[in-house]
Amino acid sequence: MILIGESLNVMSKKIGKAFKERDPKPIQEEALMQKEKGMDYIDINLGPAKKDGHELMPWVVQTVQEVVPDIPLALDTSNIDAIEAGLKVYQATPQPPLINSIMARPERYEKMIPMAAEYNADFIALMWGPEGLPRDENERAALAVELMYAANEAGIENEHIWFDGVVTPVNVQQDQVMSLLNFQMMLGDMAPGARSTCGLSNVSNGAPSHLRPILNQTYMVMLKRYGMYSVISDPLDEQLTDIAKGNRPDIEEVIYAVMDGEEPEVSTKELTDYVKTAKVILGHTLYSDSWLEV
């Protein structure tokens, strides 16, 4: 599982302030920390950055590349000019940079797909259409095919497309969480050779903070089983990184058992908690903020 660090993010107080003041130190410390924690990519998340994104993005790209020139970067903003300005100054990395993201809306992808082709960038194909979030896996699939055709037409092969079916919070839209698993299952046949990713932490948005890691970890294992190639994740969640890198087959095994409808025999509190969490995500147990206590 490829990991894309989520925390170089305008929403973080420290990083937001450093972006605003053009203070390189907190940004470079964050980038070095993410590398040290084993992140394969770093997501530079500016948010909408409507006003000065076209100046901010190239500055952040250069600031990060000064200290971690070997880590590929994901450029995350809805400001198209900011992405292009970032790609202009981008120094080549072992893997191409990643445009985060291109929505399945013609007025956006007609501009952005040629940009990806021009700069030899990979891109995240976001399953967010003219009407917003797709209602189910079939709507996700229709948007995926639309973006894939447009990219292939522009000479971009599937291996450069990272499909993101959009993760939604489990405590409000349990059926959407299942829809993404189903979409993930279809993707291999629909888009041979393509990659996939998602904003994993979205699944635990709104949950109490001490319960977010186990929700994120459990959902990641489920998505991985259906072929998820990468996740945008919290670099400080070391257990998540450990599981992602294949070091916890015991955890994967009990979650798979629940997915297969079995009642796995578990001997530790740790594994029992993963069993309970898997049941909540699959909808076998109703979501409540106290699911580990029942």
Question: Which residue number is nearest to ligand THG in terms of Cβ?
Answer: 199
Per CB under 6 A, does 230 bind ligand THG?
no
Per CB under 6 A, does 164 bind ligand THG?
yes
Binding residue for ligand THG, selected from 232, 251, 254, 258, defined by CB under 6 A: 232
Task: Give the separation between CA 278 and CA 215, rounded to whole angstroms.
Answer: 8
**Residue in 225, 219, 125, 243 with CA at minimum distance from that of residue 184:** 225
Phi first, then psi, for residue 101 (nearest 5°) are -150, 175
CB 133 within 8 A of CB 166: yes
Per CB under 6 A, does 172 bind ligand THG?
no
Q: Toward ligand THG, which CB reaches closer, 97 or 275?
A: 97
Ranges of H-type helices in the chain: 13-21, 24-36, 53-67, 80-89, 106-118, 137-153, 174-190, 212-225, 238-244, 249-259, 269-282
Per CB under 6 A, does 30 bind ligand THG?
no
Select from 57-65, 130-138, 143-151, 198-206 the region that touches ligand THG (CB under 6 A).
Answer: 198-206
73-77/230-233 β-pairing: unpaired
Per CB under 6 A, does 167 bind ligand THG?
yes
Per CB under 6 A, does 100 bind ligand THG?
yes
Residue with tokens 């990219």: 151
Q: Toward ligand THG, which CB reaches closer, 35 or 212?
A: 212
Binding residue for ligand THG, selected from 34, 79, 176, 202, defined by CB under 6 A: 202
Binding residue for ligand THG, selected from 3, 5, 9, 127, defined by CB under 6 A: 9
Residue-by-residue DSSP string for 260-293: TT------SHHHHHHHHHHHHHHTSS---TTTTT
In this structure, what is the dihedral angle of CA atoms 186, 192, 197, 198, given to the nearest 10 degrees?
A: -30
Per CB under 6 A, does 215 bind ligand THG?
no
Residue 34-73 contact track with ligand THG, rule CB under 6 A, x = bound: -----------x----------------------------
Q: Toward ligand THG, which CB reaches closer, 125 or 275?
A: 125
Q: Helix, strand, or coil here: 107?
A: helix
Q: Which parts of this chain interact with ligand THG (CB under 6 A)?
A: 6, 9, 11-12, 45, 76, 100-101, 124, 126, 164, 167, 198-199, 201-202, 232
